Structure 1
Amino acid sequence: MNYRGIYIFLLLISFKTAYSQHSHYPDKPNTHGMLLMGTETIYAEHLPMFRTPHDYQVILELEFSKEAVKKYRKDRAAYPAELVYTIEPETFVLPEMVNHTKVFKANVYRGHFERGGTKFIDTVTFKIKKVIYYKQFDKNQQRPENLQYILFGNKKEQFLSHLISKKPDFNEVLAVQLDGKAIPQNEPYQLIVMEEKENRKPFSWMKSDARILATDQPLFFRKYKQLYLEFGDLD
């Protein structure tokens, strides 16, 4: 076997090994729509359901081209009343993409891409820079006694995403501003516990208190704005 043959043989072995390592997920490729958040740093949350292959709560930090980011920020500024921005990715196996592949192409929409949204960026390449949160739903999981939210973000922009546990549930994402605290940069997220126990209603900001689960420290918010609320997909 000549050097060219050996090189091709080694490439095939490497590809086969990589494929075997990444192909153990039972899910089939599908379109996994995501909610976009942030302008300083761009975050995305998978829009989940309780049926395969969409049964994952995933929050990501994304990177894409400077030109596309500029267009995205410009559109956000031009339509301040529009809180929902989404992406329609190419089909892929979600856990494989999050854990291994890390790069995908997607269209960007003002509004929900499946509910009348307007596409204004076509086929841009996204790179997963950081996995903030990743968990597949477990029908045997116990529902938390109190409402819990995932707190993530940076010094300028912070967000809360309702921790989804078991059917029926809801998906809520909020833009918030912490009062006197910043998210530790070495922590991708913090779990926040709310005083309330009603797991089919969003947190009542005027009636209840929040605390950090790990430390039991109280947490206060100067501002909050609901970006997204969905019950139907999680009934």
Structure 2
Amino acid sequence: MLFPTIKTPTFSAPAITTSLRLHHLITFSAMLLLLVSLSVSASSKHDSHHQQLPTSVGLHGMLLFGSETGLFASHLPMFHAPHNAQVVFQLRFDNPRVHQHVIEALSASDSNPIWTIVPNRFDLAQLNPQHDSPISQLEVDIFEGHFERGGQRQHQQQSLIVEKMHIFNPLSMEHQQQPNASARYIAIRSQPNDSTQFYVKHLTMRPDADHLLKVTHASQQLPLVIDIPLNTGLHATTEQLQSAIKTMTMKQESAADSAITPTRIQPLYLELNELK
């Protein structure tokens, strides 16, 4: 009986060498990708922790402002621990009656009264959404007026829910060497087309100005960020902000709509002494 002859494949030395080189190249590439991935992950984790505010437990008074479209709070910052952070967020009070009372009080007249809140002692750093243990609820007393400057308590131990963080900006406590050449203002609003919106100055280094303005009867979408050159002083004037908004909205709108501008800009709050 005849059996078929089975030919054993043969490989030349060059083919074996090429195969080994390819195998090593693939292995090396896989290891390199793994190392890069680990490095990026570690770097991201480091940056995230670097940007977090250190533990900052204290009584953190806040300015309360808003309109029918939403309520907001702005932490009253200082350039020393534990108050060295600019924090602005949208909120609602758990009690609907209290929530409506505050809205009506803030919207009742053109006088733009000052209202403040004082939460129970807590760690301000935990309001950062990137914190390892973030919080979204506070127990606060509500004051008509500034709580440290003769304000009257209107409601006590009310639950506050943080709905959206607009600004969480840890502040350096170093003195700046040169005055800022410009001031950046950030829009605070519930929706881009709200008829009442607010602009808050983005804080940098001491000295600075905690500056908040109210824009009413806005009939088109306002810029989210406005940079205004500063010749003197620490903050822009109402007239500068009005002019900047008009210029930026004219670029966004058609010629027929370019005359539609916010009818009124009013200063709500300005603090200089606490930010020297």
* TM-score grouping bracket, smaller chain normalisation: 0.7 to 0.9
Moved more, 152-161 or 133-142: 133-142
Indicate whether 1:150 and 2:186 are aligned.
Answer: yes
Moved more, 44-53 or 25-34: 25-34
- What whole-Å deviation, never above 9, does each CA across 1:177-234 have from its counterpart, x for those lacking one? 3754325xxxxx822111433342442516973269x999589532111111111100
Cα separation, 2, equivalents of 1:192 and 1:96: 28
| Residue pair 1:196, 1:203 contacting (<8 A) in 2 also | no
What does residue 182 of structure 1 align with? 221
Identify which of 222, 230, 233 aligns with 2:271: 230
Indicate whether 1:102 and 2:136 are aligned.
Answer: yes
Indicate whether 1:53 and 2:76 are aligned.
Answer: no
Identify which of 201, 214, 217 aligns with 1:162: 201
Give the secondary structure class of the aligned counterpart of 1:101. Answer: coil
**TM-score, normalised with respect to structure 2:** 0.65
Cα separation, 2, equivalents of 1:164 and 1:132: 14
Indicate whether 1:43 and 2:72 are aligned.
Answer: yes
Cα separation, 2, equivalents of 1:193 and 1:181: 19
| Residue pair 2:141, 2:157 contacting (<8 A) in 1 also | yes
Give the secondary structure class of the aligned counterpart of 2:239. Answer: coil
What does residue 131 of structure 1 align with? 165
Aligned residue-pair number: 207
Unmatched tracts of structure 1, length 5 or more:
1-20, 184-188
Give the secondary structure class of the aligned counterpart of 1:221. Answer: coil
Percent identical: 25
Q: What is the root-mean-square deviation in Å for CA atoms of aligned residues?
A: 3.1
| Residue pair 1:143, 1:166 contacting (<8 A) in 2 also | no
- What whole-Å deviation, never above 9, does each CA across 1:52-108 have from its counterpart, x for those lacking one? 111111110001121211222343456753521110111111111343111110011
- Cα gap change, 1:234/1:37 in structure 2, threshold over 3 Å: closer, same or farther? same
What does residue 156 of structure 2 align with? 122
Give the secondary structure class of the aligned counterpart of 1:169. Answer: coil
- Higher strand residue share: 1
Give the secondary structure class of the aligned counterpart of 2:203. Answer: coil
Structure 1 segments (4+ residues) deviating >4 Å: 77-80, 140-144, 214-220
Indicate whether 1:112 and 2:146 are aligned.
Answer: yes
- Cα gap change, 1:77/1:177 in structure 2, threshold over 3 Å: closer, same or farther? closer
Cα separation, 1, equivalents of 2:92 and 2:250: 33
- Higher helix residue share: 2
**TM-score, normalised with respect to structure 1:** 0.76
Q: Which amino acid aligns with 2:122?
A: F
